[in-house]
């Protein structure tokens, strides 16, 4: 016998857990930290272990999944689950409206002839039916053939956005709710990343992944793959009166605790539907879930009833699909493109194919590892995907259509632009052109970096101007900057005599620099501002740095084997040395950096700090300089080496990260005490 006190405790825990689950998964607005939720769940689990008879199917503990099934039971639908008629063009949508007007002639506002629609994203997942008796979830089923699906109750219980018990009042004794179970893009990416790591098969898209997850016989496996559900209609009910519009029934679903798509919108007239299609299409890539079109539904439920059904779809709704995002075509050949940072990307040249609303002839193959993993050859028939505005990619080859003698894809040994050697450094997925400062494909980016504030700080030489000068071939390499003449610059579009003169002056001024700025300006990969400073301080001359070996480089505080490799590689390239020589010949110079004082002289030697938020008595840059003078390193991001994070007002994610990984958080007062300043009041 379970005593009353335990029953009350269990019921309280149910209520609290259901509430916090709803806040987290449906409202996206948690009220308590995760750890607190876990504690409540553990308390309930303990009670259920001690008294198994109190465990109910709607217990929040059921979210983690019960025992595996042998096979799925059939689930007969209370009302058939229908599908939607599709449209692929605005004309087809307009004729949908005309059909509605003809059928409804005289049955709706005859003056304006306007119809109200609920426009909704067409979610790319699986249709699911949920049945609640007295507000408790008792069955979840797939659509199947529309008459009979599979009983997946054990799996839907693991989906947190599906309420196990309903909230609020006016709950029908029997309620069927329908909607789409989907896998958020983020969960999909995580799932595939883990599969790749474990050498397992990856899923093609979030819909396949959601389908695979829902049809797991072991609910624990479903629980691990984070699925979600947006509800889009009320099915069968008993002893309950439906509202008069579809939009009100969606509101009602929300009140009961269901998750509904936040993009749903009531619109008037078919033009507004088309506008909605356009705006959702623009938003598509940034939505956290996949959609493959939009759905228009007559909002008035009475009108829906009058319109009825034709074969298996309702006359009152239409799915307006986006153009297909995946198509098949022939991979004719592969070229290798050089990016702004020297990364070499294999690009598939395809037989033209209409996909995602445009004709595609090129698609990325990412890198050689991907080509190998996807087993792609020249001559293959491949699946090409173009999702939104992202670069089209080759998803996979179709093995059945492989020609008898497929041609392997081979990475060239030399850069197609500058003929420098192509190399692949350890730990990198992409091969790179080693042309560095000399390769025209990389030069534009290198010049922009060289001119930037923390590098040579060339006033007035912004990205746009670099582009202009480069495209007119007035500069092709960094050192060409110092050969520019006022007349050449003045002849550029939107450039006057005065601004040209100022630029030449700024170039002149930039020649007096610091060694650390110059090292940073060279754009050696992995050598940021702080590493450049360490190198300048340690070597005190460019010559010594150029001659350093890996061991010496690695003896510097923040330089590991990879950074050391990048530096060695940069200085081993003759063309980079040529550019440096030309810069120095143009007159760039710096004072020899002061000798680093002894370690003992610097109290903060070996300490690493991160500054975040705003401080009331000094700027972050001032604090940084002062800490560095005392021997500390100040870095932009938190790592295991970080001694402490100084958090000012409005400190955000860095503070949270520090808390998470257990790094000390110090205040502005601590900072001032450390650098020997008093706080202003
Ligand atoms: S309403 C009678 N609304 O599209 C029509 N369906 O072919 C009932 N779908 O199997 C469906 N998003 O899985 C409706 N907002 C939405 C939807 C949606 C996706 C799917 C649903 C159905 C298919 C229709």
Condensed to tens digits (0 to 9), the pLDDT of residues 498-507 reads 999 999 999 9
pLDDT at residue 571 greater than cutoff 70: yes
One domain, residues 173 and 269: yes
Beta bridge partners, 659, equal: none
pLDDT at residue 294 greater than cutoff 80: yes
Tell me which of 475 and 68 has the higher pLDDT.
Answer: 475
Nearest-angstrom CA–CA distance, 574 and 381: 43
pLDDT on residue 445? 86
Nearest protein CA to atom 18 of ligand 1, as residue: 122
Nearest protein CA to atom 3 of ligand 1, as residue: 232
pLDDT category of residue 404 using cuts at 50, 70 and 90 = very high
pLDDT category of residue 110 using cuts at 50, 70 and 90 = low
pLDDT, average across residues 271-292: 94
Residue in 87, 127, 128, 229 to alter for ligand 1 test, most ligand atoms within 8 A of Cβ: 127
Atom of ligand 1 nearest to the CA of 233: 1
Q: Which H or E run contains 232?
A: strand 228-238
Question: Distances in Å between the alpha carbon of 549 and those of 544, 545, 556, 590?
Answer: 10, 9, 12, 23
pLDDT at residue 481 greater than cutoff 90: yes
What is this structure's pTM? 0.58
- Report the number of distinct structural domains present in the chain: 6
Nearest-angstrom CA–CA distance, 421 and 413: 6
Is 406 contained in some domain?
no
One domain, residues 257 and 117: yes
Q: Among 585, 620, 646, which residue terminates a domain?
A: 585
Is 665 contained in some domain?
yes
CA nearest neighbour of 171 among 100, 77, 255, 97: 255
Tell me which of 25 and 93 has the higher pLDDT.
Answer: 93
SS3 at position 39: helix
Residues with catalytic function:
122
User: Around Cβ 100, how many Cβ atoms within 10 Å?
Assistant: 21
pLDDT on residue 264? 98
Is 383 contained in some domain?
yes
pLDDT at residue 28 greater than cutoff 90: no
CATH (domain of 554) = 1.10.150.20
pLDDT category of residue 600 using cuts at 50, 70 and 90 = low
pLDDT on residue 555? 86
CATH (domain of 248) = 3.30.470.30
Nearest protein CA to atom 1 of ligand 1, as residue: 232
Percent of the chain with pLDDT over 90: 60
**Residue range 199-232, pLDDT digits in tens:** 777 787 788 889 888 888 777 766 776 899 999 9
Is 36 contained in some domain?
yes
CA nearest neighbour of 411 among 462, 469, 440, 371: 371
For ligand 1, the distance from its centroid to the CA atom of residue 84, given in whole angstroms, is 6
pLDDT, average across residues 28-56: 87
For ligand 1, the distance from its centroid to the CA atom of residue 566, given in whole angstroms, is 53
Residue in 319, 321, 322 to alter for ligand 1 test, most ligand atoms within 8 A of Cβ: 319
What residues contact 245, with CB distance under 8 A and at least 6 apart? Answer: 116, 299, 300, 301
**The two three-digit tokens of residue 434, written as one number:** 């080693």
Q: Among 306, 321, 336, which residue terminates a domain?
A: 321
pLDDT at residue 597 greater than cutoff 70: no
Nearest protein CA to atom 14 of ligand 1, as residue: 232
For ligand 1, the distance from its centroid to the CA atom of residue 83, given in whole angstroms, is 6
Nearest protein CA to atom 2 of ligand 1, as residue: 82
pLDDT on residue 625? 86
Cα 672 to chain centroid distance, Å, stands at: 39
SS3 at position 606: coil
One domain, residues 176 and 314: yes
One domain, residues 175 and 197: yes
pLDDT at residue 681 greater than cutoff 60: no
One domain, residues 470 and 372: no
One domain, residues 166 and 293: yes
pLDDT on residue 194? 84
Is 502 contained in some domain?
yes
Atom of ligand 1 nearest to the CA of 314: 2
What residues contact 280, with CB distance under 8 A and at least 6 apart? Answer: 119, 121, 263, 291, 294
pLDDT on residue 108? 67
Cα 33 to chain centroid distance, Å, stands at: 24
Q: Among 475, 510, 545, which residue terminates a domain?
A: 510
User: Around Cβ 31, how many Cβ atoms within 10 Å?
Assistant: 11
One domain, residues 286 and 172: yes
**The two three-digit tokens of residue 616, written as one number:** 């009331």
pLDDT at residue 66 greater than cutoff 70: no
pLDDT on residue 355? 86
Atom of ligand 1 nearest to the CA of 121: 15
Is 75 contained in some domain?
no
Ligand 1: lining residues by beta carbon, under 6 Å = 82-84, 120, 122-123, 127, 143, 180, 232-233, 295, 314, 317, 319
Beta bridge partners, 360, equal: 353
pLDDT at residue 636 greater than cutoff 90: no
What is the residue range of 548's domain?
515-585
Is 594 contained in some domain?
no
User: Around Cβ 521, how many Cβ atoms within 10 Å?
Assistant: 24
**Residue range 136-154, pLDDT digits in tens:** 999 999 998 899 999 999 9
Question: Distances in Å between the alpha carbon of 338 and those of 261, 344, 574?
Answer: 42, 5, 20
Sheet of 86-87, strand order: 86-87, 317-321, 291-298, 116-123, 265-268
Q: What is the DSSP string of 16-35?
A: HHHHHHHHHHTSS--SS-HH
pLDDT on residue 109? 64
Is 592 contained in some domain?
no
For ligand 1, the distance from its centroid to the CA atom of residue 110, given in whole angstroms, is 30
Residue in 81, 82, 122 to alter for ligand 1 test, most ligand atoms within 8 A of Cβ: 122
Phi-psi region of 242 (alpha: psi -120 to 50; beta: other; left: phi over 0): beta
SS3 at position 612: strand
CATH (domain of 374) = 2.40.50.140
For ligand 1, the distance from its centroid to the CA atom of residue 601, given in whole angstroms, is 72
One domain, residues 449 and 531: no
One domain, residues 129 and 236: yes
One domain, residues 274 and 172: yes
> DSSP strand E in 469-602: where?
none
pLDDT on residue 662? 86
**Longest Cα separation, the chain:** 98
Nearest-angstrom CA–CA distance, 89 and 155: 37
User: Around Cβ 502, how many Cβ atoms within 10 Å?
Assistant: 15
pLDDT at residue 198 greater than cutoff 90: no
pLDDT, average across residues 390-399: 89
Nearest protein CA to atom 13 of ligand 1, as residue: 127
Nearest protein CA to atom 23 of ligand 1, as residue: 83
Percent of the chain with pLDDT over 70: 96
One domain, residues 501 and 537: no
Please check whether residue 553 is in contact with residue 559, taking contact to mean a CB–CB distance below 8 angstroms: yes
pLDDT on residue 249? 97
pLDDT category of residue 640 using cuts at 50, 70 and 90 = confident
Residue in 77, 84, 179, 265 to alter for ligand 1 test, most ligand atoms within 8 A of Cβ: 84
CA nearest neighbour of 84 among 291, 316, 263, 253: 316
One domain, residues 202 and 262: yes
């Amino acid at each position: 016998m379970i005593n009353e006190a335990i029953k009350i405790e269990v019921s309280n825990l149910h209520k609290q857990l259901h509430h916090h689950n709803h806040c987290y998964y449906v409202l996206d607005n948690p009220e308590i930290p995760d750890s607190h939720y876990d504690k409540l769940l553990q308390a309930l689990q303990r009670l259920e272990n001690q008294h198994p008879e109190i465990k109910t199917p709607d217990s929040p503990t059921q979210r983690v999944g019960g025992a595996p099934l042998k096979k799925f039971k059939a689930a007969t639908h209370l009302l058939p689950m229908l599908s939607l008629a599709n449209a692929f063009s605005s004309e087809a949508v307009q004729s949908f409206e005309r059909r509605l007007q003809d059928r409804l002639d005289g049955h709706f506002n005859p003056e304006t002839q306007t119809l109200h629609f609920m426009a909704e994203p067409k979610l790319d997942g699986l249709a699911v039916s949920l049945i609640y008796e007295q507000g408790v979830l008792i069955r979840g089923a797939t659509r199947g053939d529309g008459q009979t699906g599979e009983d997946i109750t054990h799996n839907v219980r693991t989906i947190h956005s599906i309420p196990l018990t309903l909230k609020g009042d006016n709950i029908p004794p029997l309620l069927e709710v329908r909607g789409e179970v989907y896998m958020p893009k983020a969960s999909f990416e995580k799932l595939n990343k883990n599969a790749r790591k474990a050498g397992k098969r990856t899923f093609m898209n979030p819909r396949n992944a959601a389908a695979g997850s829902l049809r797991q016989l072991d609910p624990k496996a479903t629980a691990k793959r984070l699925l979600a559900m947006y509800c889009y209609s009320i099915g069968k009910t008993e002893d309950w009166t439906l509202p008069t519009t579809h939009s009100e029934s969606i509101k009602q679903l929300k009140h009961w605790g269901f998750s509904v798509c936040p993009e749903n919108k009531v619109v008037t007239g078919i033009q507004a539907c088309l506008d909605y299609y356009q705006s959702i299409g623009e938003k598509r890539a940034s939505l956290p879930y996949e959609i493959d079109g939009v759905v228009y539904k007559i909002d008035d439920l009475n009108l829906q009833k009058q319109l009825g059904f034709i074969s298996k779809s309702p006359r009152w709704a239409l799915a307006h699909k986006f153009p297909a995002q995946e198509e098949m075509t022939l991979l004719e050949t592969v070229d290798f493109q050089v990016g702004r940072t020297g990364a070499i990307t294999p690009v598939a040249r395809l037989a033209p194919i209409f996909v995602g609303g445009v004709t595609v002839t090129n698609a990325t193959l990412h890198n050689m590892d991907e080509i190998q993993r996807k087993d792609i050859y020249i001559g293959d028939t491949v699946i090409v995907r173009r999702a939104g505005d992202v670069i089209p990619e080759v998803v996979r080859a179709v093995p059945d259509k492989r020609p008898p003698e497929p041609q392997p894809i081979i990475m060239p040994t030399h850069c197609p632009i500058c003929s420098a050697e192509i190399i692949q450094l350890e730990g990198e997925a992409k091969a790179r052109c080693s042309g560095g400062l000399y390769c025209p494909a990389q030069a534009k980016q290198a010049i922009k970096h060289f001119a930037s504030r923390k590098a040579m700080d060339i006033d007035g030489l912004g990205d746009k101007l670099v582009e202009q000068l480069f495209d007119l071939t007035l500069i092709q390499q960094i050192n060409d900057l110092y050969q520019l003449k006022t007349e050449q610059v003045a002849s550029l579009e939107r450039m006057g005599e005065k601004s040209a003169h100022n630029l030449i002056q700024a170039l002149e001024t930039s020649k007096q620099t610091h060694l650390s700025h110059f090292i940073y300006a060279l754009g050696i990969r992995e050598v940021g501002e702080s590493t450049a400073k360490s190198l300048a301080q340690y070597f005190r001359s460019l010559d010594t740095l150029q001659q350093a070996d890996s061991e010496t480089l690695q003896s510097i505080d923040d330089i590991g084997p990879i950074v050391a490799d990048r530096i060695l590689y940069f200085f081993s390239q003759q063309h980079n040395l040529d550019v440096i020589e030309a810069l120095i010949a143009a007159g760039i110079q710096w004072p020899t950096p002061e000798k680093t004082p002894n370690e003992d002289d610097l109290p903060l030697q070996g300490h690493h700090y991160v500054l975040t938020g705003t401080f009331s008595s000094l700027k972050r840059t001032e604090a940084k300089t002062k800490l560095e003078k005392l021997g500390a390193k100040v870095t932009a991001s938190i790592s295991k080496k970080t001694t402490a994070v100084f958090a000012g007002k409005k400190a955000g994610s860095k503070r949270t990260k520090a808390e998470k990984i257990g790094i000390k958080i110090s205040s502005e007062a601590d900072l001032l005490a450390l650098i020997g300043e008093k706080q202003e009041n």
